Amino acid sequence: MKAVVFHAIGDIRLDEVPEPTIQDEHDAIVRITRSAICGTDLHFVRGTMAGMRPGTILGHEAVGVVTDVGSAVRGFAPGDRVVVNSTMSCGACAPCRDGHTAQCDVANPNGPQAGTSFFGGPETTGPIDGLQAEFARIPWAQNSMHHLPDTVSDDQAILLSDVFPTGWFGAELAGVTRGDIVVVLGAGIVGQFAVASAFAQGAGRVIVVDGIPDRLAQARKLGAETVDFNAEDPVQTVMMLTNEIGADAVIDAVGVDAERPKRGPAAVSGDEGESFDGEVASTAPDADPKGDLWRPGDGPTQAARWAVEMVRKHGRIGIIGVYPPTVEVYPIGVAMNKNLSIRMGNCNHHSVTPPLIDLVASGQFDPIALITEQEPVGSAIESYEAFDRREFGWIKVELTV
């Protein structure tokens, strides 16, 4: 079968690989009909999240049809149409019973203290082969996928595998309540869903900060106010828009591959630029850019710094942008002096996703407009390259199989 395979930093290929088989009684095999490319996948290729094992199939978003199940998998059978969670969970350990399925004690083969196990990730997460393929093995299948109603199309469902639940989880982490002014840092696909989720959870206003015009334009379609950090100082602008109080809540949907401003009043230079350069060197020491491809973000903690500066005193920050263990810089002193509440982590997909499936199935929210590119899996490498370059309009890439 065809699959997108990681070979090295800066080197991914569309390979022919063996089809997966049942390896454990809790496994299922799914024929993939839709997959997608996520910004997290780019972290691996850029080298900003280390530890990838060569030969690992990439991808952690999928919709498909079950073709086989292990003897311990109940409630699923061949022919069932499913959406696969990006993270795996057993459904029976203490964290799973509490709804904290991203911290399942059992799913990660590296042990209960290893943290989240997700598809197509580095060795610390399993590693488990990913979902950008024609077929995939789904470990702990009973708790790692959901049935899909006929009223949810494959194109809608692929957004329920990771990005919509993660955006929703970000708003929950930030404690969004009715009437809040919420800032979303980052207008990529997770940021877009964080906007929609913040409004759905009661936000009175949502302000989005990014430096890419087409992404800001998409956020405006969702009802957000926007700030281009290459044209305005985002901290000063947010303060101005909030009567110098600051936002009630900030959702960091950027993470380690943040870009620092290149022009305008917030442009970074001098000592601050040198500080960021040092962060890049320590965060992605093995980065191997190919011209304008696979370049790590040049402001690894830019979003983290802005979040602390633009939230009000005793405000709330939710972090869903990915930060690897190599990031050890955070403005903790400023945060403490403002009495901030900061929550972060990987989305608890199994507990977050079901209500969102119902939301889409009932017609209350249709996420499909946020798919900006639909490409066959045979064009996956070219699609990765266009997405990495942030080409115009490339916000969410769906791969059809």
Residue 396: name the closest of 116, 42, 73 by CA.
42
**pLDDT of 269:** 85
Burial classification of residue 325, based on how many CB atoms lie within 10 Å of its CB (0-12 exposed, 13-18 middle, 19 or more buried): exposed
**pLDDT of 217:** 97
N-term to C-term CA, the chain: 11
Mean pLDDT of 244-249: 98
Contact of 289 with 350, CB cutoff 8 Å: no
Mean pLDDT of 372-389: 95
pLDDT digits (tens, 9 = 90+) for 330-356: 999 999 999 999 999 999 999 999 999
pLDDT digits (tens, 9 = 90+) for 75-131: 999 999 999 999 999 999 999 999 999 999 999 999 999 999 999 999 999 999 999
| Separation CA 122–CA 128 (nearest Å) | 8
**pLDDT of 98:** 97
Give the CA distances from residue 139 to residues 73, 128, 183, 205, 325, in Å, rounded to whole numbers and listed in that order.
Answer: 10, 9, 36, 40, 25
Tokens coding 218: 């998409």
Please list, in sequence order, all residues whose beta carbon lies within 8 angstroms of the beta carbon of residue 309, skipping any fewer than 6 positions away.
Answer: 235, 331, 334
pLDDT digits (tens, 9 = 90+) for 18-57: 999 999 999 999 999 999 999 999 999 999 999 999 999 9
**pLDDT of 401:** 84
Whether the predicted pLDDT of 227 surpasses 90:
yes
pLDDT digits (tens, 9 = 90+) for 217-226: 999 999 999 9
C-alpha radius of gyration, the chain, whole number: 20
**pLDDT of 397:** 95
**Concatenated DSSP letters of 143-162:** HHEEE--TTS-HHHHGGGTT
| 370: confidence class by pLDDT, cuts 50, 70, 90 | very high
Mean pLDDT of 140-145: 98
| Separation CA 125–CA 128 (nearest Å) | 7
